[in-house]
Structure 1
Amino acid sequence: GLRPEAKSEVPDVELVRALWANHKPLLRPFMSVEGGVMAAIALIDANQVDIVKAVDTIRQVKHRLQTDHQEISFKISGEAAMDATFMEAIVQDIIWIAPIQIGLIILLLMICLRSIMTTLVLLIVMGCAITITMGAAGWVGLQLNGVTSATPMILLGLAVATCIHLVIAWQQEMRARGDSVSALANSIQINAFPVFLTILSTVISFLCLNFSASPPFQQLGNLVAFGLVTTGVLAFTLLPALTSFLTAGAIPRSSFLETVFFKCGHYVVHHRAAFVLVLIFASCVAGWGLTKLTFDDRFSHYFSERFEFRRDTDFMEKHLTGLSVLTFPLSIKQATGRPRAPTVQQVVGFADWLAQQSKVTRVDGYSTLARRVLDGATSESALNRVEPTITAVLSNASSAEIRQLAERSKTWLGNHARGLSDGPVGTTLLAAYLSERNLNAMLLGTVAALVLVSLILLFALGNVRLGVISLVPNLVPMLLAYGAWGLTLGEMSFAATVVMALTFGIIVDDTVHFLSKYSRYRMGASVEQSVAQSFRTVGVAITATTVAVASGFLALCFSGFLVNQHLGLLTLLIVCAAWLAVLFLLPPLLSYLDASHTKTDDTSHNNLQV
């Protein structure tokens, strides 16, 4: 971009303006209407060179030119620059976001466990799980991309959620028994089935990402699922071994949070009507918010403005041209190989129609030369030396707008130039339809996750009534999160379509652990007593897992990559809403729907007292 105040300092500016005035049709792809912005195009063969290295070389040339010609602003955009920026986003997330998440989790563990050595044990187990997962990805030749780069951050939070129930139960048993080995054995015995169930449900949810039409999300689901299985194995092998070795003889101090949650359990049951009414009202408001949701994508906006590529692309789309390109192959020749005159007129008419469409900034290709033939500026034989395609360039167009233009163009061609072209092709159109297809596919994936996990819950709890009750705190969080998004932001990227299937297995974890403890305490105790004891034993663990998982996705909210931002923010909302639903909606529902089913069992009652 030429700075206005620098015009007199650059002697070639007037020459450039003269060229523009005399050759506008030919120079339109490379110069703005005002004449103050020009483009130079570099073609990179991705099969011959490394895209990232090539773009890095171009940027070095740019910086050198910028130093030598400070009166000119040099900017870089295009598909190659976008690919290189994907890698920049990955590196930035790993360097800046991962340490923040690790620091938050260490602080959380220190508060909940009140033990440096126990915190160290958990960090070792989580580090091993992540290392094995990413190492396996490397061995199978999987390359990281903007989506799969989030795997370590997601897995870190899920690993805490898997292991912390075992550790907190061990601490509680240690305070009661004083023997580390028997405390570990009892902790594993109590939590083995709930932990297995939560791992299974979460693995199913992530594997349902294979319904996605986007390969990066499929890879993310498979990687996290593998990492969760690895974490489960380490939780029942390495975790007990390190705990018994590194924390031998140390009796953990009682956490004041257990007392707080015990009292909270009584309070929730006593004020159950108020909690239910508040959540019903919130659900109604969230349902209204769902009607305001729209799903769309603007691919150039996948990166925040802190990336040079985004700033340069915004400048280019404002002053010169866009990144979205639709190509229309033409069938214009008769048997002799020469174009028919009516066909040439149709080409020009179609190009004129395209140029009038919203978001279209430029129409090039065969139509430019065809217009010169009709005007008598060049011979008809020149048409035989040009590839018969029309290219429409769109600026700042969303995926929905691209799909709409493609459909309108097919309608125009069918009405005014039948047989001239079958419609647009190209990667831009493919990406636009990918987001729509991904939405439909992930709705199917969400239904699959919902059905499978719900059936597992019904079977595992062995109680149809509790199984049905458990569905409420599992579905309400998604309603609240998506409703809140609709009321505040409104538009979602296609990344948000995978969150529902992804998070269902995660939010089930809290329900499983709460109901497993509730069922155990319910034998011979009232609903209020059972709820209070469940709050005391798993309230801290549920809160810790919520904060741990939320911290992983909270870190993604600071990513410069929009897909990771939306993935992180929406999952964060759902996980936090799940915590509210399990602790403040599920107990009131139990007190209303399970109060008439009193159970007696002396052995379980003795366990309750312990």
Structure 2
Amino acid sequence: MTIFMAYQASRVEMSYEAAQLLPKKDSAYVDYQKFREIFGEEGNLIVVGVEDPDFFQLDHFEDWHELVSNLDQIDGVENLLSVSNAYNLRKNKEKRSFEIEEIFPEEINSQQQLDSLASLFHSLPFYRGLLYNEESDFYLLAISVNKDKMKSKQREKMVTSIQKTCEAFSEKTELDLHYSGLPYIRVVNSIKIKKEIYLFSALALLLCIITLFLFFRSFKAVLFPILIVITGVIWAMGTMALFGFKITLLTGMIPSLLIVIGIPNSIYMLNKYHHEFRNHGNNIKALQRVIIKIGNATFLTNLTTASGFATFVITNSEILRQFGVIAALNILTLFVLSLLLIPILFSFAKPPGERHIKHLESKLFQFIVMRLETISQKHRKLVYISTIGVLLLGFYGISQIKSSGYMVDDIPESDIIYKDLKYFEKQVDGLMPLEIIIDTQRPNGVMSLSNFKRIDQLEKRLENYDELSSSMSLLNILKFSKQAFYNGNERYYSLPNNQEKNFILGYATKSNEDEAAGVSALHSFLDSTKQVTRVSIRMHDVGTKRMEELYTEFKQEVDSVFPADKYDVTVTGSSVTFFKGTQYLVKNLFSSLTLAIFLIATFMAVMFYSWRMVLMSLIPNIIPLIFTAAIMGFVDIPIKASTILVFSIAFGISVDNTIHFLAKYRQELTATGWNIQESVKLALRETGVSMIYTFVVLFFGFGVYSVSQFGGTAALGILVSLTLFVAITSNLILLPSLLAGLEKYTTTKSFHEPLLQIFDEEEDIELDELEIEGTNQEDKKL
């Protein structure tokens, strides 16, 4: 099976598409698809910018022109728009049409000629704010890339080629170039994801090796668990290939997650194995008891952990659904592998020696457990008061929490990608696409002067928003055409009146559409029936909270200009789908957390058959969630897709300790004749050590994510580690205190006689002593 899965794993591919956050039936998703059907892709633009006061010096300009020419040769680059290949419109009176001509020819012979051409370029308002910012001597190069290559692994080669070509320019001119655009950001991030998959897997593996050796001081106790989790990782990657899933930012975390989550299975089993072997010295009996006595509890702990991940399936987000399915299935697979292979492998190995089980008598851990025992037995009131204090502080912290998300949320502010994005926001007022689709509801309706005026009115209103760039629409082309109609006079760059409109459109329709596509470009802003047009804007990455406010304001502006009974106007684009998708995701992740709590409570009810005990077990594991949410409120970590994941994952893992503790506690109740105080002590002494061992692995295992270059992944690691720290404290102090202090209300007969049987700790049936009772001697012989 592992060889087969390894073969399948070799076929897993990286995902090269933007994560789909919205379900296909959502209105925002439908609107965006409608836009793409009419006007095509709006997110396949890589931008390069430079600040150069001497840009129009002949040697500098020639270097820039050479850069543009070299970039044009790269496979996958479709179009380039820059100062050096900008064009102008000329009126041809004889043909009564506009003709396109490049402003800057291939060869410029003198600085004087370049100055004259630069003066002509600056007289064209069409390019201001689009290709240059005169105030800061900033110039922009827009690279349109092939959408099919952007969805394949060839995109990395393409973007790397663009970077190398630009770096050669920088070395030659000693000018710093800035890069951005959604395609560029996605490709650079995917390269980082691949590196982090290997880094986190290696770090998690190294951490587990060190931890296992420090705890058990045995080569076998390190080798066998590591072999099991590596097998589990291979199966997980094979499962991804069989399901047809690709590696994303989330599914790329699965190998390291499985290593960290899978090791605790081995720790509990090895600890129990060593306990049993120390008691009676029989190797096979010790291995048999590992399965009999903690098999059910271990199954339930893995089931609850898997449930925490499985609840992501209900989010309807494809990226989260894939993550949840693969993680949940393979956590259960790892449990099966551990339950089968730990007893099998150790049955062939030599029994543990004295030094191997010496960890059971560790003075450090004995001291810690005894201190915990003293707290839960003698300082229960202090524990309860402290818990109430934490809860009150927690609720206050939760009231301070904010909800927000950015399109480059996972990128830290120190990263060059983030800095360059903010640089472009400063120079050209942003890069994130925002589109307004205007449907006039009648063929040729866009071309009326009244609608031109309405679009112009809307654009002027949108100019008041600092977060938005200057808009691009059919009007820019008409204004450019009017300027050309009046022989390039700059003061005529304005909206044509009714008479001018007919002349200008007459010239435009007679122009060579294929040649003048970049200028007249009527098809870029009109559908085939001239019923629908678009207003294209670029904006800052303002975050979901501000975007929600802006979206509401945009809708109000649109409705005031275009009456809803006469026009169908839609506000869409990547900016809108991202903020809508993030809102949808956060809402659904809260639902998945609620479902996780419900499912885990149900599983525990099946195991313990006591609603009081279920409630008792949930309290120590919900408090850490409240505590972590409060910390997020106090230190201003917003609720967003990456941070809300913490709660479902951490809850599913932290409740494992509770299950193991209560399972052992119930076994001790029978052995001690229903002495609750003594049972709590004995349960704490045995399971406490295993709980501490697993906590160390999980805490540092999730902690490795804190070194991630992605803010969301780093936050996930830190917050899960923090939650697990509070959870282990709660399970080792609060849970025993509750059991010992509220014994009359919690430990009922139904808890003593559960639906799912956990074998008595002291029960020991020897097969050779069994005897079948019969009515006569023949039956006994039989």
Asked whether the two chains share a fold, i.e. TM above 0.5, the reply is yes
Shift of 1:323: 2.6
Counterpart in the other structure of 1:245? 348
Aligned amino acid, residue 420 of structure 2:
D
Counterpart in the other structure of 1:224? 327
Q: Which among 495, 511, 532 is matched to residue 658 of structure 2?
A: 511
Partner secondary structure for residue 362 of structure 1: coil
1:357 aligns with 2:502: no
Shift of 1:431: 1.3
Partner secondary structure for residue 491 of structure 1: coil
Counterpart in the other structure of 2:132? 31
State the alpha-carbon separation in 2 of the partners of residues 475 and 211 from structure 1. Answer: 21
Shift of 1:503: 2.7
1:535 aligns with 2:535: no
CA contact (8 A) 1:261 1:536 kept: no
State the alpha-carbon separation in 1 of the partners of residues 551 and 395 from structure 2. Answer: 33
Shift of 1:300: 2.2
State the alpha-carbon separation in 1 of the partners of residues 118 and 239 from structure 2. Answer: 58
Shift of 1:290: 0.4
Partner secondary structure for residue 469 of structure 2: strand
* Between 432-441 and 205-214, the greater mean CA deviation after superposition: 205-214
Shift of 1:506: 1.3
* Between 372-381 and 489-498, the greater mean CA deviation after superposition: 372-381
1:44 aligns with 2:165: no
1:580 aligns with 2:717: no
After superposition, the C-alpha distances for 1:148-182 in whole angstroms (9 at most, x for unaligned) are 11111111111012221111000111111112111
Structure 1 unaligned residues grouped into runs of 5+: none
Counterpart in the other structure of 1:439? 586
Partner secondary structure for residue 457 of structure 2: helix
State the alpha-carbon separation in 2 of the partners of residues 535 and 367 from structure 1. Answer: 76
State the alpha-carbon separation in 2 of the partners of residues 229 and 578 from structure 1. Answer: 22
Q: Which among 422, 435, 443 is matched to residue 569 of structure 2?
A: 422
Counterpart in the other structure of 1:112? 215
Give TM-score, length-normalised by structure 2: 0.73
Counterpart in the other structure of 1:567? 716
After superposition, the C-alpha distances for 1:327-373 in whole angstroms (9 at most, x for unaligned) are 11223586565622222111111001112124113322224245545
Shift of 1:420: 4.7
After superposition, the C-alpha distances for 1:528-555 in whole angstroms (9 at most, x for unaligned) are 3222211221112111222222223211
Counterpart in the other structure of 1:263? 370
Counterpart in the other structure of 2:558? 413
Shift of 1:249: 5.1
* Between 204-213 and 185-194, the greater mean CA deviation after superposition: 204-213
* Between 556-565 and 382-391, the greater mean CA deviation after superposition: 382-391
Structure 2 unaligned residues grouped into runs of 5+: 1-48, 62-113, 480-492, 509-519, 526-532, 754-758, 765-782
Counterpart in the other structure of 1:594? 743
* Between 394-403 and 249-258, the greater mean CA deviation after superposition: 249-258
1:170 aligns with 2:273: yes
After superposition, the C-alpha distances for 1:485-534 in whole angstroms (9 at most, x for unaligned) are 11112423322223323332212111100111111112325333222211
State the alpha-carbon separation in 2 of the partners of residues 353 and 181 from structure 1. Answer: 81
After superposition, the C-alpha distances for 1:273-314 in whole angstroms (9 at most, x for unaligned) are 112211221121111010111121111242235654333223
Select the structure with the greater relative contact order (CA < 8 A; seq sep ≥ 6): 1
Shift of 1:585: 1.0
Higher strand proportion:
2
Distance 1:548 1:374, change over 3 A: same
Shift of 1:4: 5.9
Q: Which among 596, 601, 609 is matched to residue 449 of structure 1?
A: 596
State the alpha-carbon separation in 2 of the partners of residues 51 and 563 from structure 1. Answer: 24
Aligned amino acid, residue 172 of structure 2:
D
Aligned amino acid, residue 55 of structure 1:
V
State the alpha-carbon separation in 1 of the partners of residues 50 and 737 from structure 2. Answer: 67
Counterpart in the other structure of 1:374? 495
Shift of 1:200: 1.2
After superposition, the C-alpha distances for 1:370-390 in whole angstroms (9 at most, x for unaligned) are 554526698551589351211
State the alpha-carbon separation in 1 of the partners of residues 624 and 661 from structure 2. Answer: 16
Distance 1:107 1:416, change over 3 A: same
State the alpha-carbon separation in 2 of the partners of residues 298 and 19 from structure 1. Answer: 40
CA contact (8 A) 2:478 2:495 kept: yes
State the alpha-carbon separation in 2 of the partners of residues 221 and 304 from structure 1. Answer: 26
1:88 aligns with 2:191: yes
Counterpart in the other structure of 1:348? 456
Aligned amino acid, residue 64 of structure 1:
A
Aligned amino acid, residue 348 of structure 1:
D
Partner secondary structure for residue 557 of structure 1: helix
Aligned amino acid, residue 174 of structure 1:
F
State the alpha-carbon separation in 1 of the partners of residues 555 and 478 from structure 2. Answer: 21
Counterpart in the other structure of 1:545? 694
Q: Which among 381, 385, 388 is matched to residue 522 of structure 2?
A: 385
CA contact (8 A) 2:406 2:543 kept: yes
Partner secondary structure for residue 447 of structure 2: coil
Shift of 1:241: 1.5
Counterpart in the other structure of 1:124? 227
Counterpart in the other structure of 1:68? 172
Distance 1:5 1:409, change over 3 A: closer
After superposition, the C-alpha distances for 1:407-429 in whole angstroms (9 at most, x for unaligned) are 22222222232245512122321
Shift of 1:11: 5.2
State the alpha-carbon separation in 2 of the partners of residues 409 and 380 from structure 1. Answer: 31
State the alpha-carbon separation in 1 of the partners of residues 386 and 675 from structure 2. Answer: 25
State the alpha-carbon separation in 2 of the partners of residues 587 and 495 from structure 1. Answer: 33
Q: Which among 388, 397, 404 is matched to residue 549 of structure 2?
A: 404
Matches within 5 A, 1:255-294: 255=359, 256=362, 257-268=364-375, 269-294=377-402
Shift of 1:19: 5.5
> How many residues of Structure 1 are paired with residues of Structure 2 in the alignment?
606
CA contact (8 A) 1:66 1:73 kept: yes
Partner secondary structure for residue 325 of structure 1: strand
CA contact (8 A) 1:262 1:533 kept: no
Distance 1:525 1:58, change over 3 A: same
CA contact (8 A) 1:373 1:380 kept: no
Partner secondary structure for residue 396 of structure 1: coil
Aligned amino acid, residue 409 of structure 1:
F
Distance 1:127 1:338, change over 3 A: closer
Shift of 1:133: 1.0
Distance 1:164 1:346, change over 3 A: same
Aligned amino acid, residue 686 of structure 2:
T
State the alpha-carbon separation in 1 of the partners of residues 467 and 53 from structure 2. Answer: 31
Identity over aligned residues, as a percent? 19
Aligned amino acid, residue 168 of structure 2:
R
Give TM-score, length-normalised by structure 1: 0.92
Specify the structure having the higher radius of gyration (Cα): 2
After superposition, the C-alpha distances for 1:415-471 in whole angstroms (9 at most, x for unaligned) are 232245512122321111001011121222122111111011122112332222112
Aligned amino acid, residue 498 of structure 1:
L
Q: Which among 613, 616, 622 is matched to residue 475 of structure 1?
A: 622
Aligned amino acid, residue 157 of structure 1:
V
* Between 110-119 and 445-454, the greater mean CA deviation after superposition: 110-119
Distance 1:547 1:429, change over 3 A: same
Shift of 1:7: 6.5
Higher helix proportion:
1
Matches within 5 A, 1:316-331: 316-331=424-439
Distance 1:20 1:5, change over 3 A: closer
Aligned amino acid, residue 399 of structure 1:
T
State the alpha-carbon separation in 1 of the partners of residues 610 and 202 from structure 2. Answer: 43
Aligned amino acid, residue 300 of structure 1:
V
State the alpha-carbon separation in 1 of the partners of residues 405 and 471 from structure 2. Answer: 23
CA contact (8 A) 2:402 2:636 kept: no
